[in-house]
Amino acid sequence: MSPGGKGANQAVAAAKLRAEVYFVAKLGDDIFGAQSLENFKQEKVVTKYVKQTKEAPSGVALIMVDGSGNNIIVVAPGANQNLSPKDVKEAEPDIASSGCVVAQLEVPLETVEFAAHLANTSGVSFILDPAPAQKLKPELLQMIDVLKPNETEAQILTGVKVTGEDSARAAAKNLLEQGVKAVILTMGANGFLLANLDQMRFVPAIKVNAVDATAAGDVFTGSLAVGLARGHGLFEAACFANYVAALSVTKMGAQSSMPNRQEVESFIKEKRLKE
């Protein structure tokens, strides 16, 4: 057993890169909730907005990994479904003063929409990792500064099956037309497509010996948020996230595979020397 959850993974990934991370979440009042809280404290994630409830157990997931490092994940969301707009409202002062707000779809959609509204009202960049994928309202799409789907999630959002560069461009174009300001469509070992009104460009994946891809997308999202919060441009922040995610797949596990800032800096330096 190891700590996980998309939001938790992204929070820890960012904290390991020395970002100041405030996590808004709901856990069960059980052993998994207690372990998660202890882990957040060890990873220096601020937990004043992490609540425990007796109404539902902590969310859990069963992850199966094949010999190539690919995975299948079955999720029982539990207390995640109890996270409400009211819980997010309590974090409004810290949302307003943050460099970036990140959300996922493992909590109720109305809660995600409210978080997007608060971020937009405060002029703070809002990143959405649309997983587990589902159709989204036009009002939410228009509040997203950066949408970060993978191929499957992009297909669910657009109806376009992403099988290569041309279809990825078509899916990204569709999302921009729906009102999303920028799209980073991740394609695993094939890299990612970055698209906004000014550019549409592919960036190859960093070549590594992949052991376990679990949480690689979460590492990318958390690292992207760190880059943007530090004032980097979207392309620069995405390239940084590309390196961090690549390094994470060289180890087993979710949060246990996430590199710290020193490891990332050494990895980037090593890779660039070989280019």
> pLDDT tens, 3-36?
889 999 999 999 999 999 999 999 999 999 999 9
* Residue type present at position 212: D
| pLDDT tens digits along 62-83 | 888 888 777 788 889 999 999 9
Residue 218 annotated to the active site: yes
Asked if pLDDT for residue 262 goes beyond 70, the answer is: yes
pLDDT for the residue numbered 253 = 74
Task: Supply the pTM of this predicted model.
Answer: 0.93
DSSP letters spanning 2-46: ----HHHHHHHHHHHTT---EEEEEEESSHHHHHHHHHHHHTT-E
To the nearest 10 degrees (0 to 180), the angle between helices 216-229 and 234-248 is 150
Q: H-type helices in the chain, by residue range?
A: 6-16, 31-42, 85-89, 92-96, 109-122, 138-141, 151-158, 165-177, 216-229, 234-248, 261-274
Domains of the chain, first to last: 6-269 (3.40.1190.20)
Q: How confident is the model at residue 257 (pLDDT cuts 50, 70, 90)?
A: confident
As beta bridge partners, residue 227 has none
Number of other residues whose CB lies within 10 A of the CB of residue 37:
16
CA gap 263, 128 in Å, rounded = 26
